[in-house]
Chains A and B, each alone.
Chain A
Amino acid sequence: MFKNVLGLIDATAPAEELGALATGRCLPAVPFGGKYRLIDWSLSNMANAGIDNIAVFTSEISRSLLDHLGSGRDWGLYRKRDGLTVLAASKDVYVPYLLRNPRKYVFCMKGNVIANIDMQKMLRQHLQTGADVTEIMSGHRSLEAYLLEKDLLLEILDSPYDHHSRHFEEMIREHPLGLNVAAFQVEGFAEKISTVSDYYQTSLKLLNPELQRTVFSSVRSKKRDDPSTLYHAQSVVRNSLIGNGCVIEGYVENSIIFRGVKIAKDAVIKNSIVMSHGVVGRSAYLEHAIIDRHAQILDDAFLQGTPERPLVLPKEIIISPEEYHHANRVYSI
């Protein structure tokens, strides 16, 4: 059945509301859940449903996204025919691509949804209702993911709107002929990550092992070669999700620690998210903070946000007790 469906992940959606987490990367490439990137759920949902042709549209060459996707092998999308394609989101590129693609239906997602979507069921419903567009909903919230015929998509894209400044969902809603849009309710946990608050709250929800079972049950990601995480004699870790390749000597509570993070003796990390390859020095203190990749929190540094407004620190930042260094500039604290 899915031989007739093209998966389309629009990675061009703006991500300003993710603040520092979106600098230098597009929304679907934002790291999430201790080892993943947001796009992993969209890709896995499609690949698990048997969609073996997925195109990712990017507005700029996103190194982190390309590096993550590779050949698509980790999602079973490395094929001689079809498989995974990354396209520049320019009309000259994707319109001919879509015209040439023989598949009748298109699944469009933005690559920022954390959910297990039964796409087979959704396609069946779409065919039964005869709707122009089927929209994935979680309760009353739209997950901004759509199923429609490719020809209709091309027609929408060909409309006189300047769609570089508009979102696809607006174009559907404001279609001049008025489209028949049906809702498909997704079952179970479903979150759309658009803001820092979404990101922080949804991340911390993963500290529930029951929820982990659902959220992680079928998601695939790029395979890595980190060794297992090493705990030292002094380490104390409670209620936390820990990626591979970490070396932990300090205290970690209610936190998500990504791959390859080093946490020194007497460091304290609470209610925080530390992304890959971060280094947290001796007696450093982090609470309600989101630390992007490759950050160095030096000895004795103190960082504290609030549950409502977690501190967000960009990647490759260096923080000492007195000052912080970022992008070749030095700021005092």
Chain B
Amino acid sequence: MNMTSCIAVVLAGGEGKRLGELTRRMAKPAVEFGGKLRLIDFPLSNCANSGIHVAGVVTQYEPLMLHSYIGAGNPWSLEVTLLPPYVQKGGGDWYQGTAHAVYQNMNFIERYDPEYVLILSGDHVYKMDYAKMLEFHKQMRADVTVSVIEVPWSDASRYGIVNTDRDHAIYEFEEKPSTPKNNLASMGIYIFNWSVLRSYLHNDMNQKDSSHDFGKDILPGLLNNGKRMVAYPFQGYWKDVGTIRSLWEANMDVLDHNFTLHDADWPIYSVGCNVPPHYIAPEAIVRRSLIQDGCLIYGEVDHSVVFSNVFVGEGSSIQNAVIMPGARIGRNVTIDRAIVLTDAVIEDGAIISGRDVSDGIVLAGDQQIGYKLA
């Protein structure tokens, strides 16, 4: 399919407050995932694999890591323009909301004169062929298509729920409904006819009481005006990793084969680094785990994701953990249900367990967050 008429705008300016120390120095889309990736690799790789060639990446909170990581988009074979807030004649603004961020960058979109604009989040873990969604959008002759996924009914009240008729036409949005009528959650992935989006972005900027947000303002506005909106039913793995627990769970999902990164037909690209293969010592035990280049493993690693250049000392036991790049785990350390931060040093004999904390996962490697010493 010819995808040149569709460009992507990735919303990557979010802070990710609930990720605590993980986003102290970087925006949420820069957070590491699955042994070698960053979250932003998913939407960018999905674009590349879907035949999209042009993407704008909207940044705001702590953009340094994202900017240096993404660059011009070469690792994803994309033509990327980074879109941080800027000043112009007469001043400038921080981005007030997701719609405001896109409004401020309409000049970027206009340069490509696209027929369709695909709006994506920079912090979801999933593999999706946007070409199929665009095909659906065209077939349904929609003004906007919202990608939705079935979530367990018990969780539905935590999501933005999309109510549709039998032909996928959307008649109602409900934000975190206490009694959901449906279990179709919006994934925050939209395809707009650019002409429609352009006029609604202009209208929205004139609304004094608007929060300038796609979910809260733009989509309900389109619906109220009778625009044709359809829900594209996505099937597959998708996870919004907004919390420490959900980030940990998504990593465990790779180990439990709920989601695979070993997929030659849908590679997730990233900025590689030059580190040697990893070494597993004679006395080491490694099972049910992902191990990245550059690691030296002398202890036991079970059901864990270990990023590059991690050292695990003799007699240590790591279970159900995510060990971020460059962490050094001493000897006789016990780690269970934890995320160990980048370049953390865990002293010999430390015991780190998330079993006693409220959401069951502990962040380790920072004195403020602490871990129990034996």
Contacts and interface: CB of A to CB of B under 8 A. Distances in A.
Given A221-B274, A224-B272, A238-B280, 5 more contacts: A216-B276, A220-B274, A227-B261, A227-B290, A228-B292
6 contacts: A35-B276, A225-B75, A229-B290, A232-B288, A239-B282, A244-B292
B278 A241 contact: yes
A22 to B, nearest CB: 23
A233 B288 contact: yes
Contacts of B288: 231-233
Nearest to B261: A227
Contacts of B208: none
B89 interface: no
Interface in A238-295: 238-245, 247, 256-258
Contacts, number: 106
Q: Identify whether the interface residues of A are mostly helix, strand, loop, or mixed.
A: loop
A247 B261 CA distance: 11
A225 B278 contact: no
Interface residues of B, number: 39
Given A225-B270, A225-B272, A228-B36, A243 B291 contact: no
A242 B277 contact: yes
A212 interface: yes
A169 B279 CA distance: 37
A64 interface: no
**Most-contacted residue by chain A among B37, B274, B288, B307 (CB, 10 A):** B274
Nearest to B267: A225
Interface of A: 33-35, 74, 207, 209, 212, 216, 219-221, 223-225, 227-245, 247, 256-258
A232 B291 CA distance: 11
**Most-contacted residue by chain A among B267, B282, B305 (CB, 10 A):** B282
B156 interface: no
Given A209-B279, A240-B279, A228 B274 contact: no
A242 B291 contact: yes
B250 interface: no
The 6 A-B pairs of least Cβ separation, nearest first, read: A228-B35, A223-B272, A34-B277, A216-B276, A227-B261, A228-B290
B272 A209 contact: no
Nearest to A237: B280
A46 B82 CA distance: 34
